[in-house]
Every structure is written in C-alpha cells, then in structure tokens.
Chains A and B, each alone.
Chain A
Amino acid sequence: MNSEHDTSEQSTLAGEYVLGTLQGDARDRFEDDLASDDALQQEVAAWERHLSPMLESVEPVAPPTRVWKAVEARIEARPSQRAGLWNSLAFWRNLSMVAATLALGLGLTLLGLLQAPGELERIMVVTNHQSQTGCIVDTRSRDSMLHVSAVQPTPLPASKVCQLWLVTEDGVLLPIGILPHQGSEKMKLPAALGNDSRFKVSIESALAAPVERPSEEIVFEGQLISI
C-alpha cells in the first residue's frame, strides 16, 4: 500500500517536473534522483508524451533562413566523428528493447529460419543503432557455416559497412564477413567455434572491406546462445 502511494507520489512529482512548476531546490533534488532512476525516467517520458499534444497543437511558423545557416555553421565546427559514439554500447544495445522486438521482428524472421533447411542450434541477435534487431546470426546442424540474416540493419552512409569478427580465446579478431543489408548470407567461420566464442561488429570503409584488422571502433559485441 505504502509503495503504491509512493509510486503515485513519484508520478505526480514527475508531472510537476515536466509541467515546470517543480522549481528551485526541489527541482535540483528531483534531477539528481532522475539521473540514476530508470523508473523515474520512464515517468518523466510518460508525462512528456501525455502532455506533448499541447505542443503539437501549436501553429507552425516558418523560421527565417538565417537560422539554418547559423545551425549549420555550428555543427560544421565540430569534428565529424566523436570517438565516444562508436564505443557507446548503450547506443547500440538495449536488452529490454531487444526483448520487446523479439516478439515482433525476430518472431517473423525466426518463422522463416525455422522453415529453412537444417535445425537451428545457436543464435545471436545483433542490435541496430536503435536497439532493435539489426540482424540475426545463427548456426545450424546441417553445416558448419554462420547464417546471417538482415532484419533492420543500422542505416549507414554508402561509404560504410558493418564487418563481423570472431574473437579468439587470445582476444585476436578474425574477420568473418560483411553484414548483409538485406536477405541472408552464409559465411565461413575462420576458426572452430568454442562454447562461448564471442563476436564483434565494426564499422569499416566500404571500399576497403573486408579488412584483416578492424580499422574503426567496435559497435557491437555478443555471443551465440543455444536454443
């Protein structure tokens, strides 16, 4: 009962925060809590979503063209790539989202996979930039290949591709192949799979790939799980 009361209290506080009436010390304290509290972040997001139709009801007004020029000048001044982005696994991976998409995209793809010849043995979901199922890597009883199927791959500029790597026990990365943007592909394994072999995905220049060593930072890592 008490926790129910607390939950409703937290929700109202989140509402006042989004509304803007939570100010001063109380606002600072709330923001401190918010930084580390997932449930509170969800409350805030829910209120933003609930109240946002008020913003969407606003009449659009075309801004003067000088605003775009100013914005463009400011983003041009930044380095074109921040190292942190590629390293940010949270950006690529969000397990709860993967669980949610398992029901949808993956379900449909699995349906197709299960009808494919050869029994599925192990499977790995490579998430895309929005933490949804980007592609599925699996092994089957029939052959010793990796089967890679695109679901919703991360959209990349034409000059870039995603390359899949097998990590050896000594931590050396062996190139496997380029993740397909649509359809499925079979790929030869560069070494025998261990029970807990790990895989990585890196972004490479489309011109040079497949490369022998990863030239840019790793955007995904994971391992096959038995099904």
Chain B
Amino acid sequence: MASQDAEAEDAAAQRNQKLQELLAACALHDRQAFHQLYEMTSAKLYGVILRILVQGEWAEDCLQEAYVKVWNRAESYRPHLASPMTWMATIARNQALDLLRRRHREVRITAADNLPEEVDRHLLPQDKLQQTDEGRRLNRCLEQLQSAQRQIIALAYFKGLTHEELAARTATPLGTVKTWIRRGLKQLRRCLEA
C-alpha cells in the first residue's frame, strides 16, 4: 500500500513537471505543446466548469475562453505560487463564475444543490478530496467546521453566491452567514497552516 502511494506520488510529480514544461513552451508560443497541455488537462477543467455552470452549451464556451486565457497568460505562470493544475483550474473557475455574474445567475441551481444534506456529498466528495496531501489536509480542516459552515463555504466556492444569496438559500440570517464565513476562513487558515 505504502509503495503504491509512493508510486502514485511519483506519477503525480512527473505529471506536474511535464505540465510545467508544457506551460513554459506555451509561453514561447509552441502550439504543439499547447495541444498536449489541452489533451492532458481539458477533462479536468471541463469538469470544474460543469460543476459551476451545470449547462453544457455555456460550459463549452467557457472552456474555450479558459484555454485562450491559459495560452495568453502562460508567460505569467509562476511555479512557486501554484501547481500548473491549480493555476489552470483557478482560471477555469474564475471564467465560469464571471459568466454566472454576467448571466444573472440563471444557470446556477441544480436539484441536488438545493438540498443542504446533498451539498457535502455533491460538492465535497470525501473520497475525492482524500487523493492528495493538500486534499487530505483541506478535508481534515473542513471537518473541523460546523457542517452548516462547511456547506456555506462549499456553496460560495462552487456557485459564486453572495452573502445575501447564501442566506436565502440556506434560510440563515444574513449576519450569521457573514460571521460563519469570516470565522470559518480564519479557522481554516489556522488549521491549514498549522
């Protein structure tokens, strides 16, 4: 088991290295490298966008925009600030959240997201969060929050909801939502950096 973990970590480190090289080549306008980067990462980024937008058609436009940004910004990627995957997934998420803000939030709600008890299972699948060191740490720290706090943070992260919308969605007073988020973030930060 331990050697399997070590192998998985090796593979992840190699993949990371490869993605860094591809991004570097993209910064030098190497289209072939960009295609390879797309092949290696687009399913993940599409998954991220679909989680936020739900609707396929807009998600395709959004994925397209996200990759055009990756290409245009490859030169500003800083390996000491984020892994290539984190950097690209963040671009995809921001692209999707921007679209939500522009389209007046018509596309946000799915039936599963509407039920608080589904939020944990749907937005924060434990088994998936347990796959990397960072994921395990985040999961452990999220577990230390109250479940309502955790759900509000996950809803905000994936759905770009405002304080007011979070309050309405979870039938919680606005002041409580604001306090939960601030306290939740402070608690998370302490736990993540402990």
Interface, chain A (partner B; CB < 8 A): 8, 11-12, 15-16, 19-21, 23, 42, 45, 48-64, 66-68, 70-72, 74-76, 80-81, 85, 88, 91, 94, 97, 100, 129-132, 154-157
Q: Verify B86–A52 contact, CB threshold 8 A.
A: yes
Contact call B186/A12, Cβ cutoff below 8 A: yes
**How distant is the Cα of A68 from the Cα of B71 in the complex, in angstroms?**
13
Contacting pair B161 A48 (CB below 8 A): no
Interchain CA distance A57-B89 in the complex, whole Å: 11
**Distance (Å) between the CB of B128 and the closest chain A CB?**
4
Report yes or no: B24 in contact with A20, Cβ–Cβ below 8 A. Answer: no
Q: How long is the Cα–Cα vector from A21 to B28 in the complex, in angstroms?
A: 36
- With beta carbons under 8 angstroms apart, the residue of A60, A68, A76, A81 that contacts B44 is A60
Contact A62 B24, CB 8 Å, known A15-B185, A71-B64: no
Q: In the A-B complex, list the 8 residue pairs whose CB atoms are closest, starting with the nearest.
A: A57-B128, A60-B43, A53-B135, A15-B185, A55-B89, A63-B46, A52-B86, A45-B81
Report A-chain residues with C-beta under 8 Å of the C-beta of B28: 85, 129, 154-157
CB-based contact A8/B186 at 8 Å: yes
B58 on interface, CB distance cutoff 8 Å: no
Separation of A91 and B23 alpha carbons in the complex (Å)? 13
Among A42, A59, A85, the most chain B Cβ lie within 10 Å of the Cβ of A59
**Is B63 close to A, CB under 8 A?**
yes
Q: Which of A21, A97, A131 contacts B156 (CB 8 A)?
A: A21
CB proximity to A under 8 Å, residues B90-120? 90, 92-93, 97
Instruction: Identify the closest chain B residue to A59 (Cβ).
Output: B47
Q: Which of A54, A60, A97 makes the CB contact (< 8 A) with B80?
A: A97
